[in-house]
Amino acid sequence: MHPILKLIAQRLALSILLLFAASALIFVGTQILPGDVAQSILGQSATEQSLANLREELGLNEPALTRYFSWLGGVMHGDLGTALTNGADIATSLGSRLSNTMFLAFWAAFISVPLAIFLGLLSVRYRDRWPDKLISAVTLTSISIPEFLISYILMYFVSVKLGWFSSVAMINDSMSFGEKLSAIALPVIVLTLVVLAQMMRMTRAAILNVMQSAYIETAELKGLSSFNVIAKHAFPNAISPIVNVVMLNLAYLVVGVVVVEVVFVYPGMGQYLVDHVSKRDVPVVQACGLIFAAVYIGLNLVADVVSILANPKLRHPK
Query: Residues 6 or more apart from 4 whose CB is under 8 A from it?
Result: 308, 309, 314, 315
Long-range contacts of residues 77-80, Cβ cutoff 8 Å, at least 24 apart: 80/283, 80/287
Give the whole-angstrom CA distance, residue 245 versus residue 226: 25
Average pLDDT, stretch 282-288? 82
Show me where the domains of the chain are located.
Answer: 95-276
Position 10 scores a pLDDT of 83
pLDDT band at 17 (very low <50, low <70, confident <90, very high): very high
CATH fold, domain 95-276, is: MetI-like fold (1.10.3720)
Give yes or no for residue 317 having a pLDDT over 60.
no
- Is residue 94 within 8 Å of 272, Cβ to Cβ? yes
Q: What pLDDT does 233 receive?
A: 66
pLDDT band for position 6 (50/70/90)?
confident
33 pLDDT band (50/70/90 cuts)? low
Mean pLDDT over 29-57 rounds to 66
Above 70 in pLDDT, residue 300?
Answer: yes
The model's pLDDT over 95-144, given as tens digits with 9 standing for 90+, comes to: 888 888 888 888 888 888 888 888 887 887 777 788 888 888 887 787 77
pLDDT score of 83 more than 60: yes
Kindly report which listed range (55-59, 207-211, 286-290) carries the lowest average pLDDT score: 55-59
What is the structure's pLDDT at 202?
80
Tell me what pLDDT residue 156 has: 83
Q: Which of 50-64, 88-102, 114-128, 300-314 has the lowest mean pLDDT?
A: 50-64
What CA–CA distance (Å, rounded) separates 155 from 168?
9
State residue 291's pLDDT score: 86
Contacts of 296 (CB under 8 A, 6+ apart): 251, 254, 255
- Per-residue pLDDT tens digits for 166-199: 777 788 778 788 888 888 888 888 888 888 887 8
Grouping H, G, I as helix, E, B as strand and the rest as coil, residue 89 is strand
Contact, 257 vs 270, CB < 8 A?
yes
Highest-scoring range by mean pLDDT, 42-56, 144-158, 214-228, 268-282: 144-158
Q: Is the pLDDT of residue 247 over 60?
A: yes
How crowded is the C-beta side of 56, counted as CA atoms within 13 Å? 6
How many C-beta atoms lie closer than 10 Å to residue 305's C-beta?
16
Confidence tier at 40 by pLDDT (50, 70, 90): low
